[in-house]
Amino acid sequence: MKESRINQIEDLVRKNKSVSIDDICNWFNISTSTARRDFDILEKRGIVEKVYGGLRLKSPEKNNLSAPFHTQILLSPYQERSSKNIEEKEKIGKLASGLVNENDVIFIDSGSTCYQLASNLADTPCTVITNSYLVLEALMPYANIQLITLPGTLNRKTLSFTGSEVIQGISSMNITKAFMASTGISVDGGVTNAESSEYHIKRRVCEKSREIYLLADHTKFNRSSLYTYCSLNQIYCLVTDSKPDEKTEAFLSSHGIRVLY
């Protein structure tokens, strides 16, 4: 049955050029984790490749003009970035999900690593505040999770809601734990982000949160983007996929910051 399902998924990708993980789960009545395992097997066959949110047929030509609508979404700038370091991000998401306790009030940032956290929260009754479209989509089926979305304008580059309305909404909230994304972290530059539209939002979230959990894979170490939204010593815990470099590890240790990998 499993092999038959995997072959059917491969046929669907060949026919449609791409499929989303949500469609596969609905068509075959399987869980997200089962679909991901099937995707891993298919990718090893060398015919398809995993992209953020699904699978696509491997091809030297990437002509989105003739592709169906859902394919164009999969190949948007956000998903292209998100298709990198998938295994590392999945690991971080699973680790971070273990830090969420029942009845916590948490903020989940936009970004592909934070999305992986949301994908692993189904069994934890809690309140989730977010400005991420994808986090909302991932958690919507679970009645045990209270979802609070922040109003704003959708930034299609980041798939997050931004604007002054988001900042105003956060200002009235008290957050237990904030799970934050970053495009670069360093001892000197702090926790940084490249998007000006998200800078003030991230900064305000950190100000309103009791504990800040930074979700960042090893490629973000010793890198700085344009905007520093909090200093490295403000975070409570770094959740990553591997041991940080010596300088970063020494700084975190000297400030009593937990590192989980």
Confidence at residue 69, expressed as pLDDT on a 0 to 100 scale:
38
CA angle (132 as vertex; 127, 136 as ends), nearest 5: 55
Domains of the chain and CATH, by start: 2-75 (1.10.10.10), 86-260 (3.40.50.1360)
Find tokens 């200002």 and name the residue.
Answer: 171
CA gap 218, 27 in Å, rounded: 36
Task: Tell me, letter by letter, the H, E, C secondary structure of 84-112.
Answer: CCHHHHHHHHHHHHCCCCCCCEEEECCCH
| pLDDT, tens digit, 9 for 90 and up, residues 206-244 | 999 999 999 999 999 999 998 999 999 999 999 999 999
% of residues, the chain, pLDDT over 70: 90
- Give start and end residues of each alpha helix (H) in the chain: 2-16, 21-28, 32-44, 69-74, 77-82, 86-97, 112-118, 133-139, 164-171, 196-207, 246-254
pLDDT in tens, 13-44: 887 788 889 889 888 889 988 998 889 888 88
**Does residue 256 have a pLDDT over 90?**
yes
Decide the pairing of beta strands 153-155 and 160-162: antiparallel
**Residue 66: Cβ-neighbour burial (10 angstroms; 0-12, 13-18, 19+):** exposed
Residues in the chain: 261
H or E element at residue 191: strand 190-193
Average pLDDT, the chain: 88
Averaged pLDDT for residues 195-201: 92
Both tokens of 129, joined, read 């505040």
Q: What is the pLDDT of residues 75-85, one digit of tens each?
A: 345 555 555 77
CA distances (Å), origin 203, targets 15, 16, 84, 214? 45, 42, 26, 13
Which residues are CB-contacts of 176 (< 8 A; sequence separation ≥ 6)? 104, 105, 106, 209, 210, 211
Which residue did the predictor score with more confidence, 258 or 11?
A: 258
Structure tokens at 206: 């950190």
Mean pLDDT value of segment 177-204: 95
Q: Report the Cα–Cα distance between both ends of the chain, in Å, rounded.
A: 36
Q: Could you read off the pLDDT of 132-153 as tens digits, one per residue?
A: 999 999 999 999 999 999 999 9
Angle at which helices 21-28 and 2-16 pack, to 10 degrees?
A: 130
Predicted TM-score (pTM) of this structure: 0.71
How do beta strands 209-215 and 175-180 pair?
parallel
pLDDT of residue 63: 36
pLDDT at site 7: 86
Q: Which residues, listed in sequence order, are joined to residue 191 by a DSSP beta bridge?
A: 185, 230
**pLDDT exceeding 90 applies to what percent of the chain?**
62
Question: What is the three-class DSSP state of 11?
Answer: helix
Question: What DSSP state is assigned to residue 252?
Answer: H
Compute φ and ψ for 19, nearest 5 degrees: -140, 150
* pLDDT value of position 93: 96
pLDDT reported for residue 77: 52
Residue type, 143: A
Report pLDDT digits (tens) over 40-69.
888 888 888 888 778 888 754 443 433 443
Q: What is the pLDDT of residue 60?
A: 45
Predicted confidence (pLDDT) per residue in 114-131, tens digit: 999 999 999 999 999 999
**pLDDT above 60: residue 70:** no
